[in-house]
């Protein structure tokens, strides 16, 4: 019996994981969840931004990370575009960033914000950390034209913005290396920085949160769901929380089965 | 004089310029440093183009020689040229470009990542066994963090999120800080080696 438990066909595991994802999505239970302090800090900071503040938003994720990070960005933009009166600069150091920015702006359409006055899409800048350092020093040199091809000096939103020193905050949505922004934006200019990242890199970024170099952090799909609840706009991330719960439980159940079978058959193995 | 000497000298000058601009603001090197960093951006843009040329060379050769699964290379090159041509001629906001991004690239990328959940479940079952004290600590910590992150963990015991946060905030942060400080010191050492010409891997051809 225990030997059988140790050799469960992986196809059975795959089917159970699939069912743990599909069933809660089709028939959600709505398991309640609390708000993590790091997400609360992001919401509180954005919510308390005074009218007329200028923030930069880095959209730096790839399609692979989009299921976790895109809902975070959408929840934050919904909050900013519908409840706040701040100026927003979109930047990207990922090749796919501009496409996701366009997609996000399409998805949140219906607001009264004006392009060029309330927000601007500066587009993609190659060079990763060098690119961050370059636009932090001088937006005009790094992004002479915006994503639509217009001279950025012609847009009213850029009138009082020359470098990162003129920003009131920066939010970065990424699945790679947010510490680059700590070094080039927060550390160099003292700009309050928060990130939205996928769950797998949360552990490597917690030191920046605990040291205050990041004022907040959104943790994967759970972070997106928490932000949706905080901004009173529950959407796809909130609806996915039951699927997250059940897949976690399936993984834990198989870890327990694996351990029981391993310990149960250990004496047999040692006797061989 | 070796052909690499001018590049090494240039690397040293650029490195010193960037460092001096940060640590010695009184020298008014901001404009020069900014200009050099914008060159870096331009070089990175050319590197992207070079990567595309390299892809065409490698996969074009696979197709010509009819290597195994050469049709995957053909498909890759088709979409590479499709995105380049449509993007340059019609722009990245053109419907055909957006369609390919939103309905081909994004779902494929997400699918690749989502498959991890199946592999992780299978791998955790086989490999995540409490064979030693260290493995047991890792196992228990991971289980608590998972239960703290999933709403169902909170439904089972309300303290799971707080316990998960404690693991992330205290032991994890302590270990990560050590790793990060070590890596930063290593990066400084590597930077100095590159600047003074000891490390020449970036020139290609190894350390000759």
Contact yes or no for A96 and B101 at CB 8 A:
yes
* Average pLDDT of span B146-162: 93
* Average pLDDT of span A226-235: 95
* Average pLDDT of span B53-61: 96
Residue A197 predicted with pLDDT over 90? yes
Residue A178, min C-alpha distance to chain B (Å): 13
In chain A, where are the structural domains located?
2-28+244-271, 40-238
Whether residue A189 lies within 8 A of chain B, CB to CB, comes out as no
The Cβ of residue A209 has, within 10 Å, a number of other Cβ atoms equal to: 21
Q: What CATH number has the domain spanning A40-238?
A: 3.40.50
pLDDT at B135: 93
Which residues between 152 and 171 in chain A have a beta carbon less than 8 angstroms from any beta carbon of chain B?
A: none
- Phi and psi at residue B101, in whole multiples of 5°? -70, -50
Whether residue B44 lies within 8 A of chain A, CB to CB, comes out as yes
Q: How many whole angstroms separate alpha carbon A173 and alpha carbon B22?
A: 27
pLDDT digits (tens, 9 = 90+) for A54-98: 999 999 999 999 999 999 999 999 999 999 999 999 999 999 999
Q: How many whole angstroms separate alpha carbon B77 and alpha carbon B97?
A: 16
Residue recorded with tokens 């991971």: B142
pLDDT at B1: 59
Contact yes or no for B110 and A204 at CB 8 A:
no
Instruction: Say what percent of chain B tops pLDDT 90.
Output: 70
Contact yes or no for B92 and A98 at CB 8 A:
yes
Residue A13 predicted with pLDDT over 80? yes
* Average pLDDT of span B46-58: 94
- Phi and psi at residue B32, in whole multiples of 5°? -65, -45
Q: How many whole angstroms separate alpha carbon A249 and alpha carbon B102?
A: 31
Residue A148, min C-alpha distance to chain B (Å): 9
pLDDT interval class at B208 (50, 70, 90): very low
Residue A139, min C-alpha distance to chain B (Å): 11
Q: How many whole angstroms separate alpha carbon A136 and alpha carbon A139?
A: 7
* Average pLDDT of span A159-182: 95
Length of chain B: 208
ipTM at complex level? 0.85
Q: How many whole angstroms separate alpha carbon B67 and alpha carbon A202?
A: 41
């Amino acid at each position: 019996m225990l030997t059988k438990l140790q050799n469960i066909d992986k196809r059975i595991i795959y089917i159970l994981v699939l069912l743990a994802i599909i069933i809660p999505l089709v028939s959600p239970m709505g398991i309640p969840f609390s708000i993590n302090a790091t997400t609360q800090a992001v919401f509180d900071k954005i919510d308390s931004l005074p009218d007329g503040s200028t923030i930069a938003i880095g959209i730096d994720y790839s399609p692979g990370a989009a299921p976790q990070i895109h809902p975070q960005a959408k929840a934050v933009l919904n909050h900013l575009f519908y409840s706040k009166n701040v100026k927003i600069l979109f930047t990207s150091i990922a090749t796919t960033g501009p496409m996701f920015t366009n997609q996000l702006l399409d998805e949140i359409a219906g607001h009264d914000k004006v392009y060029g006055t309330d927000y601007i899409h500066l587009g993609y800048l190659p060079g990763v950390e060098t690119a961050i350092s370059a636009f932090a020093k001088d937006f005009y040199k790094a992004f002479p034209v915006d994503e639509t091809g217009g001279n950025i000096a012609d847009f009213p939103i850029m009138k009082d913005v020359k470098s990162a020193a003129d920003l009131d905050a920066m939010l970065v949505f990424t699945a790679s290396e947010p510490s680059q922004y700590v070094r080039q934006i927060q550390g160099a200019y003292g700009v309050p920085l928060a990130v939205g990242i996928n769950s797998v890199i949360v552990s490597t970024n917690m030191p920046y949160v605990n040291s205050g170099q990041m004022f907040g952090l959104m943790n994967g799909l759970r972070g997106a769901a928490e932000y949706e609840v905080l901004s009173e706009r529950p959407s796809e991330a909130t609806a996915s929380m039951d699927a997250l719960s059940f897949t976690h439980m399936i993984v834990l159940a198989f870890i327990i089965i694996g351990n029981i079978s391993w310990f149960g058959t250990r004496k047999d193995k040692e006797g061989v | 004089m070796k052909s690499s000497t001018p590049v090494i000298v240039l690397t040293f000058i650029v490195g010193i310029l960037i460092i001096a601009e940060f640590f010695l603001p009184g020298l008014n090197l901001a404009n020069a440093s900014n200009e050099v960093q914008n060159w870096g951006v331009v070089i990175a843009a050319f590197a992207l183009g070079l990567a595309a040329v390299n892809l065409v060379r490698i996969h074009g050769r696979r197709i010509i020689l009819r290597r195994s699964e050469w049709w995957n290379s053909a498909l890759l090159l088709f979409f590479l040229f499709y995105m380049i041509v449509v993007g340059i001629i019609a722009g990245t906001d053109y419907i055909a470009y957006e369609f390919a991004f939103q309905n081909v690239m994004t779902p494929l990328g997400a699918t690749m990542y989502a498959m991890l959940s199946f592999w992780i479940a299978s791998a955790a079952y086989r490999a995540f066994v409490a064979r030693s004290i260290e493995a047991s600590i890792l196992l228990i910590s991971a289980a608590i963090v998972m239960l703290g992150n999933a709403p169902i963990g909170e439904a089972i015991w309300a303290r799971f999120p707080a316990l998960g946060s404690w693991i992330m905030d205290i032991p994890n942060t302590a270990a990560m800080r050590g790793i990060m400080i070590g890596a930063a010191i290593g990066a400084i050492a590597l930077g100095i080696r590159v600047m003074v010409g000891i490390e020449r891997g970036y020139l290609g051809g190894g350390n000759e």
